[in-house]
Amino acid sequence: MKRFFLILFTLQTTLVVSNAQTLEACQQAAERNYPLIRQYDLIGKTTDLTVANIQKGWLPQVSASAQATYQSDVMAWPDQMKTMLSGMGVDLKGLKKDQYKIGIDVQQTIFDGGAISSQKAVARQQGEVESAQTEVNIYKVRERVNEMYFALLLLHEQMTLNADLQTLLAGNEKQLHSMYERGTAAESDYLSVKAERLRVVQQQTDLEARQQTLRRMLSALCGIEVTQVEKPSLVATPSQQPSTRPELKAIDAQLRLTNAREKALDAALMPRLGLFAQGYYGYPGLNMFDDMLNHDWSLNGIVGARLSWNIGALYTRKNDKAKLNAQRETFNVQRETFLFNNHMEQIQQNEDIERYRRLMANDEEIITLRQAVRRAAESKLQHGIIDVNDLVREINAENAARVQQSVHEIEMLKEIYDLKYARGSE
């Protein structure tokens, strides 16, 4: 189903920009843009060709040969018979020491004990193993997309808050400039707020540069123009469920390949039954007596059935079985190790999600309090109770509280989606 989904999206030549900028759309775009995605088709084609070649084992196996020999000795008539037949006028030439054959040998398998079937099963399962490993590598692209996507979200929030901070500082700068012109504020107070506003402008320039770099990297990874990312809606923490990570599917494919190879060992012990036909043109033929009299080339042929049983596989069967069992145990250990590490990772992610939830519970109240303190500081400055440095400190404290709220929200969202990635959730 996943391969069908990816191929379906590959057929599309254009994308709607708004859809392409959601997290899910970026993940899908990155997967189909990843060069390794083309390996799916290559693996499928290679597997089909391998299976087709194995299937041809049921076709007649034809071989042609040519042979020329010179023998030190050949079959001959007994001397007494030669003497007797010579007296009767019969010339017994005997066989020539130089002999020649040009022939064709045809063999047709009737029963192979399941050898061809087991070889096809092994070939198909090897293709499944390669496809599963390819899926593992492609799935890792999602993690890279998540890192860039949420980094862009955080930068966007920081830039928005930075713009608000600039507006707030610009308002106070304007007011202090008016107070300075009326002689109710020192020039240093006005210049101090202006310098702080310019520092914030510098921060915005730095944030924009970092955003542009990340946007280009994400666009290159996804193969689309990502102009603006869209904040995912706050979703519930994924429920506990069995992991569906492709790494586990790859291990299952390895285990199935081991089982297929074990069945191939059993098939190697079965007898083979087949038909054969041999024909050749040469000298001597199958009629030796006639060839002793006449040194003429002739057509000769043999047809029959052959039952063979090679018990040589018994010599290594025990070790081969032990090796397959060791491989099977290795894959099971890999599964347990992956599940253990994955479980530890999920524990940490769940704890981080809960930690951010607890932190976010007080963020709004902190912002409200900081805002009230900042407004009071603005009033105190107008009445000369505090200096401008106190006001700037309170403005930055309010902005820091707003930034902290955005960080908590974005980081919690990222942990939720990282948890979905860890569990293999779609």
Q: What is the mean pLDDT of the chain?
A: 87
* Residues above pLDDT 90, as percent of the chain: 63
C-alpha span between 206 and 301 (Å, rounded): 90
| pLDDT, tens only, 307-357 | 998 888 888 889 999 999 999 999 999 999 999 999 999 999 999 999 999
Residue 360, both tokens = 């976010």
Confidence class for position 5, pLDDT limits 50, 70, 90: very low
Question: Residue 20 has what pLDDT?
Answer: 40
Residue with token string 């593992």: 136
C-alpha span between 396 and 165 (Å, rounded): 8
Kindly give the residue spans of alpha helices, DSSP state H, lying in 98-241. Answer: 115-182, 187-222
* Lowest model confidence (mean pLDDT) among 83-87, 404-408, 422-426: 83-87
Proportion of the chain in helix, strand, coil states, percent, rounded to 5 = 70, 10, 20
Grouping H, G, I as helix, E, B as strand and the rest as coil, residue 60 is coil
pTM of the model: 0.79
| pLDDT, tens only, 235-290 | 666 666 667 899 999 999 999 999 999 999 989 889 999 999 999 999 988 888 78
Residue 143, both tokens = 């993690």
| pLDDT, tens only, 279-300 | 999 998 888 878 887 888 999 9
Written as one letter, the residue type at 95 is L
247 and 39 Cβ atoms separated by less than 8 Å: no
| pLDDT, tens only, 382-415 | 888 888 899 899 999 999 999 999 999 999 999 9
C-alpha span between 59 and 62 (Å, rounded): 9
Kindly give the residue spans of alpha helices, DSSP state H, lying in 223-295. Answer: 246-268, 288-293
| Between residues 321 and 20, the one the model is more confident about | 321
| pLDDT, tens only, 161-199 | 999 999 999 999 898 888 888 888 888 888 999 999 999
* Average pLDDT, integer, range 229-234: 83
C-alpha span between 367 and 407 (Å, rounded): 14
Question: Phi and psi of 112, rounded to 5°?
Answer: -115, 10
Q: Is the dihedral of CA 77, 78, 83, 84 positive or negative?
A: negative
Q: String of b and e for 31-64 (b: at least 16 CB within 10 Å)?
A: bbbbeebebbeebeeebeebbeebeeeeeeeeee
